Structure 1
Amino acid sequence: MIPIAKPYLTEDEAQAAYDTILTGWITQGPKVQKFEEKFAAYTGAKYAVAVSNCTTALHLSMIVAGIGPGDEVICPSMSYIATANAIQYVGATPVFAEVQQATCNLDPIDAEKRITKNTKAILLVHQIGMPADIEAFQELCDRYNLKLIEDAACAAGSAYKGRKIGSHSELVCFSFHPRKVISTGDGGMITTNREDYYNRLKLLRQHGMSVNDRVRHEASRIIFEDHVEVGYNYRMTDIQAAVGIKQLEKLDWIVEERRKIASAYHEAFKVIDFIGLPPEEEGYFSNYQSYCIYLKPSSPIDRNTLMQELLDRGIASRRGIMNSHRETAYRDSHRSVELPISEDLQDRSIILPLYVPMREDEISLITNAFKDILIKKTIVI
């Protein structure tokens, strides 16, 4: 079976975790601080705060941005459900907006139509690693006095107009889940250029504790901590951070390898006129966290049949990106939502295997199987 994804972890990461375990400091500590410093430097942000996963990163970002009950936050429905959930966590209401057909990213024109007097922020998702138009949304937020938060769960290593994702806006949230480009097993990161956000994020991730464990450990005088506000246990461990440091060192190389695989897919599928390929316009640099193709209405084979045929040949695939408003948790409260582009993209898109290292024979097996299935369906390519 060729899997849809798998993390690229080597003996380097195993040794880093092993060495950290032997230090006796395995919870949030010096390795976490080092990982934060290196990640901030990589993205070009002033600060980075490590947390337990991207969902907790989004939750804390909502809090420091001042979003709460009665507020509305515009976001795509076409995103993993954590995007909408983070808005719900603070008592606010997710307002689902439409995406662009080509990129699967939020449409600024449709987003603007959904702004009301209760709108407090826009949660912008860089879908499957393809950067969204940050400038367009920042201009929109400036015009309407809204907060811009980036859900960059899939976008580590991607770039927008010459700068890495992570430094463009006040709050940017990343994921290190095993299906992401780099992984710490699980984990997340928030980058920010605001010192006040940075300081409060560090408090909130550790139960609002005024003095962290490392400071107390290194102190030469007795220190008693205070818990200055109700916080959360959203910490990353030093074991995870040690792995993350090694992963970060390889990130640009991993992205380069993923782009080579994407190029091979491009070349194989460009001759099939009913397949829509992921675009990459000038100024947009994708890490290809996933490779998603779209079966146009002219396709003589339906999406699910094609996925099953691939699975029968030992090739995993996934449906197009979910629509949160169609999930049971949101269906009743969003029955009036009309998002035909998002729904069509979910129903007609397929995510294909992409991981490092992926051998040429595996890529050929996938593309040849794809073409063979179509030929057997009496389609001439």
Structure 2
Amino acid sequence: MVPWLGAEEIAAVTEVIESGWVAQGPRVARFETAFAEAMEAPFGVATSSCTTALHLALIVADVHSGDDVVVPSFSFIATANAPTYVGARPVFADVDPTTGNVTAETVRAALTERTRAVIVVDQGGVPVDLDPIRALCDPRGIVVIEDAACGAGSRYHGRPVGAGAVLTAWSFHPRKLLTTGEGGMLTTSDAEWAARARRLREHAMSVSASDRQASLLAPAEDYTEIGFNFRLTDLQAAIGLVQLGRLPEIVRRRRELAARYTAELADVPGLRPVVDPTWGTGNFQSFWVEVTAPFPTDRDGALHALARAGISARRGIMAAHRQPAYRGRDTGTVLLPHTERLTDKTLILPLYHQLSDDDQDRVIDAMRAATRDLVTEST
């Protein structure tokens, strides 16, 4: 992954530096409004990361110690970590073997009497099928939080992913389509939750730093509860505003590259590429392929073959329940066969906006050569 950054971002950051206001301020407010409008969400709250956005989402949703939160193990470990920050127990659910996302059926299997929330993930930019999950959870009073860390630019039933969730967390890490270096956003349809999240990200001060700065005699602030330092800076927000304008073109180019990978690798035996589900379109934040028979080697063998050709690919999404931090912990009793298969058998190919056709041809040729060379070696 290579972020698409250029002269416009440099100019935007320069303007912020020259303004003298570089911390959370007016550009953060502009970025919140613009991002929320683009994602068809009523309110946006900028944060220091997607992880902190998830943390705030659980707090405003009233998730406490003793509660259970259903999460996929097939996700970056932050998805499981967020419930532990509020004292809740992450309970792992399995995923659909084709999309890599949780479904209403896999969530149902993981529900407990103490389930207070469910975190669903648009894994690799593949939109999660949210409506059936909400139909399952809403009548039970279970809050569904969408982890759209990888989802900016993906669509679900014609709308941006996250638009149908009451709480959605977003990432602006450099591996994502839209980046601010680090940073995140919480979007919500609930005005009170948005207001509380804004206070909590700034130590729960009753008066924001920008309001105090705008006053000649700054009003005294109160600290209404235990808060956090989860703020985004105006420097980052300035970059985010430029990046938001680039998003449609980034999605168009990534989908073009993904379609080319899919077409060119279609006749390679044993490779199954990620594709759009019937309910939406992905942004191809990651282009992953599952490596199975009759491909002449396993996933790790394919990675080594690519590395020998000078191609840097990566293992697929991790399984959090296998990590030392969660091995031996009580995380529910659901078996996770699809999670483990996808973790063991998928790899991620290079895909970014500036990837040239020639460089993509190198990757495609290396995959084809790996098939021929490995077959020759085995005979």
Q: CA deviation at 1:222?
A: 4.0
Cα displacement string for residues 175-204 of structure 1 (whole angstroms, at most 9, x for unaligned residues): 000000110000000111110011000000
Q: CA deviation at 1:221?
A: 4.8
The residue aligned with 2:173 is 177
The residue aligned with 1:144 is 140
Between the two proteins, what is the percent identity of the paired residues?
40
Q: CA deviation at 1:19?
A: 1.0
Matched ranges for 1:126-275 at <5 A: 126-219=122-215, 221-275=217-271
Matched ranges for 1:80-91 at <5 A: 80-91=76-87
Cα displacement string for residues 63-120 of structure 1 (whole angstroms, at most 9, x for unaligned residues): 0000011100111000000000001000000110110000000132121022121011
Cα displacement string for residues 197-220 of structure 1 (whole angstroms, at most 9, x for unaligned residues): 110000000000111111112235
- Mapped pair 1:360 → 2:357: yes
Paired positions, count: 376
List runs of 5+ in structure 2 lacking aligned partners: none
* Alignment check: 8 A CA contact 1:51 1:236 kept: yes
- Structure 2 Cα separation of the partners of residues 219 and 184 of structure 1: 29
The residue aligned with 2:28 is 32
- Structure 2 Cα separation of the partners of residues 110 and 194 of structure 1: 27
- Structure 1 Cα separation of the partners of residues 128 and 82 of structure 2: 20
Query: Which of 320, 339, 343 is the equivalent residue of 1:342?
Result: 339
Query: Which of 5, 8, 26 is the equivalent residue of 1:12?
Result: 8
The residue aligned with 1:378 is 375
Q: Secondary structure at the match of 2:153?
A: coil
- Structure 1 Cα separation of the partners of residues 115 and 302 of structure 2: 41
- Structure 1 Cα separation of the partners of residues 121 and 347 of structure 2: 19
The residue aligned with 1:96 is 92
- Structure 2 Cα separation of the partners of residues 148 and 280 of structure 1: 23
- Structure 2 Cα separation of the partners of residues 76 and 293 of structure 1: 19
Per the normalisation by structure 2, the TM-score is 0.97
- Structure 2 Cα separation of the partners of residues 337 and 144 of structure 1: 20
Q: Secondary structure at the match of 1:113?
A: helix
CA-based RMSD: 1.4
The residue aligned with 1:52 is 48
Per the normalisation by structure 1, the TM-score is 0.96
List runs of 5+ in structure 1 lacking aligned partners: none
**Which moved further from structure 2: 250-259 or 333-342?**
333-342
Query: Which of 111, 114, 119 is the equivalent residue of 1:115?
Result: 111
Q: Secondary structure at the match of 2:132?
A: helix
* Alignment check: 8 A CA contact 2:203 2:228 kept: yes
- Mapped pair 1:78 → 2:79: no
The residue aligned with 2:39 is 43
Query: Which of 273, 276, 288 is the equivalent residue of 2:272?
Result: 276
* Alignment check: 8 A CA contact 1:131 1:155 kept: yes
- Structure 2 Cα separation of the partners of residues 273 and 311 of structure 1: 20
Opposite residue 272 of structure 1, the aligned amino acid is V
- Structure 2 Cα separation of the partners of residues 220 and 376 of structure 1: 73
Q: CA deviation at 1:283?
A: 2.9
Any runs of at least 4 consecutive aligned residues in structure 1 with deviations exceeding 4 A, and if so which? Answer: 334-337
Opposite residue 125 of structure 1, the aligned amino acid is V
The residue aligned with 2:308 is 312
Cα displacement string for residues 101-157 of structure 1 (whole angstroms, at most 9, x for unaligned residues): 000001321210221210111100010000000101110112322100000000011
- Structure 2 Cα separation of the partners of residues 143 and 274 of structure 1: 42
- Structure 1 Cα separation of the partners of residues 138 and 172 of structure 2: 30
Q: CA deviation at 1:282?
A: 3.1
- Structure 1 Cα separation of the partners of residues 218 and 316 of structure 2: 55
Opposite residue 174 of structure 1, the aligned amino acid is W
Opposite residue 173 of structure 2, the aligned amino acid is H
